[in-house]
Amino acid sequence: MSGVTMLPAFTSLRHFSTTTVRRAASEFRMTVPWGEMRGQVWGPSNGRPVLCLHGWADNCGTFSTLIPLLPKDWRFVAIDFPGHGLSSHRPDGCLYTFPLYVADVRRVVEALQWKQFSIIGHSMGGNVAGIFSALYPEMVDAVVLLDTYGFLPTQMTDMFKNMRKGINDQIHYDNKTDERKERVYTYEKAKERLKAANPSLSDQSADILLERAIREVEGGFVFTRDFRINLKNIVNNNIEQCLHMLSLVKARVMLLLAKDGIFKTFTLPNGYGDMIQKSWTDQKATILNIEGDHHIHLNKPESVASIITDFLQSHSPDGETGNESQKN
């Protein structure tokens, strides 16, 4: 497990009510060519391996309330994607794209020496999980997609407009190095900003994400995330590409779609959402529409924990703990 270290977690309780039960986690640190990737780890080293992938502009704290409700003998690794949470930002001049996020996952599981594992992915993390599971179908035994379809198709006519805009945005950003200045917030103002960008977050959920989303500086706090994650993504897939990748997935898949989640306000064009759901159904995926919002897994984890546990237990490699995946 070269390049990976586990550190005892520092758990701050100042923002948590007494009703919140938190299982002890260790800090995950892994060296990468541009710095390090960070995250959190729960459970025994020989437990069933489950990788947890957060959504855009979130961090691995998004799983902090869910994982304590899942089986304690499983091994959960929740990462901060580069440019998010406590992970290093990508190198100067580098763009944030889905293929690079998929490569990040490949680096992590290589370092962990996981031959086969399950994935829980929320939002953008679910889309990374979908592409990874298509590229490496032999490595993934089960996938839980939280308020995401696993693929995000773009109209052909928009793909190259996006590419042009993303390249221009990046160059503009790179040329403004002298004008960049981190804005310093009070804790409450940082929390207000986070909740304004994520209206579905409860007050406590915002506190949890802020544990890794801000760092203290003289005069207050600054956000840890890389501003470049806001720039237009230059690598998009059209519906044909998405459906082809979906057909390559060999894992059993469950989609948990929140009734007041992302697809209530963000509708995919041209009936793409229905097309993807039909393709998942054809592949015997489980699709459940659940009460809740985009961050239901963080705000009210008890409403999804047993559903996730039952699904993963029914699709574990050895029918119980999944430890067979460690012996391949």
Q: pLDDT tens for residues 130-166?
A: 999 999 999 999 999 999 999 999 999 999 999 999 9
Look at the block and give the residue holding tokens 């009210």: 300
Confidence of residue 11 (pLDDT cuts 50, 70, 90): very low
Confidence of residue 326 (pLDDT cuts 50, 70, 90): very low
- What distance in Å separates the CA atoms of residue 117 and residue 135, rounded to the nearest whole number? 14
User: Is the sign of the CA dihedral 61, 64, 70, 75 positive or negative?
Assistant: positive
Report helix angle 98-112 to 124-135, nearest 10.
Answer: 70
Give the residues across from 121 on adjacent strands. 53, 145
Q: What do you get for the CA distance between the two ends of the chain, in Å?
A: 16
- pTM for the structure as a whole: 0.91
**Three-state DSSP state, 326:** helix
State how far the alpha carbon of 32 is from the alpha carbons of 35, 82, 88, 186, 303, in Å: 5, 10, 9, 32, 36
Structure-model confidence comparison of residues 22 and 73, the more confident one = 73
Confidence of residue 72 (pLDDT cuts 50, 70, 90): very high
pLDDT one-digit tens code per residue, 27-55: 999 999 999 999 999 999 999 999 999 99
Residues with catalytic roles: 123
**Three-state DSSP state, 21:** coil
Which string of DSSP letters, residue by residue, matches 283-305? TT-EEEEEEEETTHHHH-GGGTH
Q: Note whether 303 and 290 are within 8 A (CB).
A: yes
Closest CA to 123 of 229, 213, 257, 269: 257
- What distance in Å separates the CA atoms of residue 324 and residue 319, rounded to the nearest whole number? 9
Q: Is the pLDDT of residue 20 over 50?
A: no
Residue type, 322: G
Domain boundary assignment for the chain: 26-153+237-313
Confidence of residue 254 (pLDDT cuts 50, 70, 90): very high
Lookup: tokens for 198:
């994520």
Secondary-structure percent of the chain, ordered helix, strand, coil, rounded to 5 = 40, 20, 35
**In percent, how much of the chain has pLDDT > 90?**
85
pLDDT one-digit tens code per residue, 172-190: 999 987 777 889 999 999 9
Question: 231: which DSSP letter?
Answer: S
Q: Is the pLDDT of residue 232 over 50?
A: yes
Average pLDDT, the chain: 91
Q: 220-224 — which CB contacts under 8 Å span 24+ positions?
A: 220/184, 220/185, 220/186, 220/187, 220/189, 220/190, 221/184, 221/185, 221/186, 221/187, 221/190, 222/182, 222/183, 222/184, 222/185, 223/182, 223/183, 223/185, 223/190, 224/84, 224/85, 224/86
Domain 26-153+237-313 has CATH 3.40.50.450: no
